[in-house]
Amino acid sequence: MTISSPSTRTHAVVIGCSLAGLLAARVLSEHFERVTIFERDPVEDHPASRRGQAQTRHLHGLLAHGFRILTRLFPNLDSQLIHGGATVSDMGEAIRWYHYDGYKVQFKSGLAAVSMSRVFLEWRIRQAVLALPNVSLRAPCPVTHLITHPDRTHVIGVAVASNTAQDQASPILADLVVQTGGRGATPGKWLAQIGFSGPSEDEISVGVGYATRLYRRRPTDLTGAKLVMISPTPPHQKHMAFVFPVEDDRWIVSAGGWLGDHPPTDDAGYREFLRNLPVADVFNVIQHAEPLSDVYTYKFHSSLRRRYERLTRFPEGYLVLGDAVASFNPIYGQGMTSAAMQADVLDSLLRQRVSLEGLWRSFFRKVAKVVDIPWQIAGCEDFRYPETQGRKPPMTDLLNAYLTRVHRATHHDSIVYLQFLRVMNLMASPTSLLHPRIIRRVLGRRSS
């Protein structure tokens, strides 16, 4: 096999057909003649979970910044989602959020709150990506390992499992391979096979578990809001619950808890868990609603970050994107938006440079900056619980003491709340909450 020129952009391969893979393929379609997505599981032509997607039956949040990126990549996406039954509304007005022993003020924020099932969103995006003339999907078609140049400095393709024999693999050549196979992907193993060290890892153990159920949605179920969120006040409270509208006139209700304090999965226990939350908003929605599903459970042991930006050696022609780089406590809804931002980084770099040589170095450095903010936000909140295990960043306790007052200020101050929403939606740095104007408002009133 011969290596391509560093400037060749004939064929790109994406490993994985979840949201991160689809966004990577959409971006690569503008920079390569052909893009092929390889997915190990069968892919249905309708909204459906796959075997390797343990969490897709549960509530997913698409943050406002992620929605902006998606609607830029897919200009008709918002109207398609709404036509299919998704709810798009103003975040400040739509959410009734009980947090830190009070309700956050409801106001017009200008930030989009988008609510639909994960499988519906992924299906709509998959339809749009596969409609591109230079993008194709091969599924089920697992990738078994990377193919390299004889000197092992460049990845020049992948080997995919043969349909006729399990012990055979077919080579697929590519100028760039992007691994988006999720947290459970094996880039470290593949790197070791070709003589490279894998990245170091940061881990924060949170022991989160939640239980989700679908209910029939009626117009009279909820007044004065479109979504309900009940969040705990750490460290003594550990339970939460969200109610979001999804397509086909359904509610998706997710109840959860930190550090092993998880909701029951039987009908009576699930209802009792919701009834015993600090306020009755969620229970009031479901107590007379018709259940449409069993109670599905999901457990998330720890947030994990792989530090690719710290590597000094890495094969040319290979990148890693999405949950394979960083997976966050899903309670905060950051995963899809982080993947969209990482795809945006890839798009920007490919527009700026002619050669693919050294792309990995710039990409991982910029992706690290993308990941820094959601990692900091999730970590700070999780370390409010003393049982949380992992490396606590310096100043976390001091910052959390201030952020407690920020949370309480959002009960009455829409300016503080708007800035908090901008940070939460990955549109502003957490340090923006330390702007003198915000500090004055946070400290200017006595917090109870």
Q: Which pLDDT value is given to residue 447?
A: 44
Pairing between strand 176-179 and 201-216?
A: unpaired
Residue whose pair of structure tokens reads 């949170």 in the numeric block: 206
Q: What is the mean pLDDT of residues 266-293?
A: 96
Tell the CATH topology of 11-60+123-200+307-380.
Answer: FAD/NAD(P)-binding domain (3.50.50)
User: Which tens digits make up the pLDDT trace of 192-248?
Assistant: 999 999 999 999 999 999 999 999 999 999 999 999 999 999 999 999 999 999 999
Q: Would you place residue 393 in the very low, low, confident or very high pLDDT band (cuts 50, 70, 90)?
A: confident
Residue 268 pLDDT exceeds 80: yes
Rounded Cα gap, residues 390 and 393, in angstroms: 9
Q: Quick check: 375 and 305 in contact, CB under 8 A?
A: yes
Task: Report the share of the chain in percent with pLDDT over 70.
Answer: 96
Q: Which residue has the higher pLDDT, 364 or 46?
A: 364
CA distances for 67 relative to 24, 32, 40, 284, 342, angstroms: 16, 25, 27, 30, 14
Q: Which pLDDT value is given to residue 1?
A: 46
Q: Would you place residue 307 in the very low, low, confident or very high pLDDT band (cuts 50, 70, 90)?
A: very high
Task: Report the share of the chain in percent with pLDDT over 90.
Answer: 87
Which H helix or E strand runs over 274? Answer: helix 267-275
172-176, 183-187, 344-348: the lowest-pLDDT one: 183-187
Domain extent listing, the chain: 11-60+123-200+307-380, 203-301, 388-443
User: Which tens digits make up the pLDDT trace of 43-84?
Assistant: 999 888 887 776 778 888 899 999 999 999 999 999 999 999
Q: What is the mean pLDDT of residues 75-102?
A: 96
DSSP of 47-109, one letter per residue?
S---TT-TTTTS---B-HHHHHHHHHHSTTHHHHHHHTT-EEEEHHHHEEEE-SSSBPPP---
Q: What is the mean pLDDT of residues 346-351?
A: 97
Q: Would you place residue 4 in the very low, low, confident or very high pLDDT band (cuts 50, 70, 90)?
A: low
Please return the burial class of 448, using the count of CB atoms within 10 Å of its CB with bins 0-12, 13-18 and 19+. Answer: exposed
Length of the chain: 448
Q: Give 203-301's CATH code, choosing from 3.50.50.100, 3.30.1330.50, 3.20.20.220, 3.30.9.90.
A: 3.30.9.90
Q: Which pLDDT value is given to residue 6?
A: 65
Q: What is the mean pLDDT of the chain?
A: 93
